[in-house]
Structure 1
Amino acid sequence: MATLWLFIVIGSVIGFFWYSRKIAEAANEHAQRQAKQLQVQLLSVACKKVLPGILKSGRLGIKSQFLFEFSSDGESLYQGYLYLENEKLVQADIPPHRLG
């Protein structure tokens, strides 16, 4: 019985890691889309938070927050935030920035 629980825990950890990587890839695509839309250069994307929770749809899922850095003129650095529920972008906070 203990072996079964061990396999369940290990499988859950591996599944969570795999799905969090999938979410990170989706966040990178969302950041690239935002950069293209704003006509800025995307510099980096980093994960700030990943938490299980109840989504706006009422289902259980993963809520995450990503920080992305961009430059509009090659000299300035700006930081924006992407809020995802599973792989879906629900909010993007983009600071005021200089147009290059």
Structure 2
Amino acid sequence: MNIYDLIILVIILCLFAMFWRFRAISEQVKVSLEQYCDKHNIQLISVARTNTRISSYRGKLDFHTEFSFDFSGNGEDSYQGKVFMIGLHTLKVDTPAYKIDGNFL
């Protein structure tokens, strides 16, 4: 095994670890959004990752991700919100004003 084989092996391992971390973050945001939607009596329609970057937070290097999600307050209309996460921790959930049974909330 020469140095090039070792470099390729390290790159493959890093890509695998990154994929595994993205899966864990995606699963956590789904759980967090389901809890948020249950708490606010809204229906979660879909979730998608829109932005990912790597940076330091409290001295730890991790992924800062932004997700957009579609939801409905009355089962007829669809609205789009955003979720901001650092690693597996949800920072904030932003939603626009949405209609529940004919009234805006």
TM-score by length of 1: 0.94
Aligned to 2:80, the other structure's residue is in SS state strand
Inter-partner Cα distance in structure 1 for 2:52 and 2:94: 17
**Aligned-pair distance for 1:54?**
1.3
Inter-partner Cα distance in structure 2 for 1:53 and 1:28: 22
Inter-partner Cα distance in structure 2 for 1:22 and 1:49: 16
Aligned to 2:21, the other structure's residue is in SS state helix
Partner residue, 2:97:
96
Task: Report sequence identity in percent.
Answer: 25
**Aligned-pair distance for 1:46?**
0.7
Alignment RMSD, CA only?
Answer: 0.9
**Aligned-pair distance for 1:58?**
2.6
Structure 2 unaligned runs (5+)? none
Which amino acid counterpart does residue 45 of structure 2 have in structure 1? L
Which amino acid counterpart does residue 23 of structure 2 have in structure 1? R
Structure with greater contact order relative to length (CA < 8 Å, sep ≥ 6): 1
TM-score by length of 2: 0.90
Inter-partner Cα distance in structure 2 for 1:75 and 1:67: 19
Aligned to 1:7, the other structure's residue is in SS state helix
Runs of 4+ in 1 over 3 A off after TM superposition: none
Partner residue, 1:35:
37
User: What does 1:2-21 align with in structure 2 at a 5 Å threshold?
Assistant: 2-21=4-23
Please identify the structure whose Cα radius of gyration is greater.
2
Structure 1 unaligned runs (5+)? none
Count of residues in Structure 1 that have an aligned counterpart in Structure 2: 99
Partner residue, 1:62:
63
Partner residue, 1:80:
81
Inter-partner Cα distance in structure 2 for 1:73 and 1:93: 18
